[in-house]
Structure 1
């Protein structure tokens, strides 16, 4: 399965994500699949009113969507929008307030990545932990090409909980590249 990717650079999407509970909602939907505000409230230890508000913010940001065929009456089922490549908009296109939101989201994601790196080094789970480090001399264009190839690889292996094979588990993947000097 190849998952089509859609790049999102809108400040609205970043604003929707720049809240700890919203990040937890998106993660929960990605790991466990579709849910209602009631099931999310129970799983995340929040009340349904709070969850409903944050679900609407995520929907407005284009990060989650309603599943009309599963929804009945007042009960709405939600799922994460698949194939999103969420990127920070160019600095010159953001207002100072939008830059502050993007910076806060970056700090939140960095903290999550630090926790994942600690977990990687402290909890070896046989057969389930993989990592790699490398060094190459690249131009900016080559780094951009490497990033695009990585996104294509992610899309090729982008299975959600609804279409994963038996025995599949949610696996967190991270990639970043930066100059060494």
Structure 2
């Protein structure tokens, strides 16, 4: 299981924030791939996917999948990481700007994905009804909120696995908690 890892270098966030790199990582969540198969799936050229894979590898987001490579063809897999960000008061201005850009892009992407799910859920069979939803609030101390978050992550990590059942499907899980503005 991946250990918590705090990102302190804005360059790492910038590597994650690039739109094509986010799309590459999303494809690699499904299965390992080569730059050629990624280029076809993402309607990009292989030079571009190859470059961005090397950039992602430089920052530890992807790694070689040697079992699949044949000859000069290089296959990649996503590295499962438990990434954490510095607290607001500990972020440099550059880190704060990079994190805001990444977070805004991720939230916009999540909204687009949710909208696509809503529009197509009728064609998904029983998976179209598999949408647990909860919205609420809790009254906690900062320490309790950290404990709550760690418990959530521990629960989610129980389902990180390489041996995926045949009837399993990727399910997007999002967690956001913040103090209610006064």
**TM-score category (smaller protein):** 0.7 to 0.9
The one of 16, 36, 39 equivalent to 1:38 is 36
Matches within 5 A, 1:124-139: 124=121, 125-139=127-141
Distance 1:60 1:94, change over 3 A: farther
Counterparts of 1:40 and 1:59, CA distance in 2: 15
Corresponding residue for residue 22 of structure 2: 23
Contact 1:67/1:79 (<8 A) preserved: yes
Distance apart, 1:23 and its partner CA: 0.4
Which 10-residue stretch deviates more, 143-152 or 124-133?
124-133
Counterparts of 1:141 and 1:123, CA distance in 2: 40
In structure 2, stretches of 5+ residues that fail to align are 122-126
Which 10-residue stretch deviates more, 116-125 or 170-179?
116-125
In structure 1, stretches of 5+ residues that fail to align are none
Contact 2:2/2:82 (<8 A) preserved: no
Distance 1:10 1:73, change over 3 A: farther
Q: Is 2:88 the partner of 1:88?
A: no
3-state DSSP class of the match of 2:168? coil
Corresponding residue for residue 102 of structure 2: 105
Counterparts of 2:131 and 2:109, CA distance in 1: 17
Instruction: Choose between structure 1 and 2: higher helix proportion.
Output: 2
Distance apart, 1:167 and its partner CA: 0.9
Contact 2:4/2:84 (<8 A) preserved: no
Counterparts of 1:122 and 1:135, CA distance in 2: 28
Aligned length: 175
Query: What TM-score, normalized by structure 2, do the two folds share?
Result: 0.85
Q: Is 2:154 the partner of 1:156?
A: no
Query: What TM-score, normalized by structure 1, do the two folds share?
Result: 0.85
3-state DSSP class of the match of 1:78? strand
Distance 1:101 1:93, change over 3 A: same
Corresponding residue for residue 142 of structure 1: 144
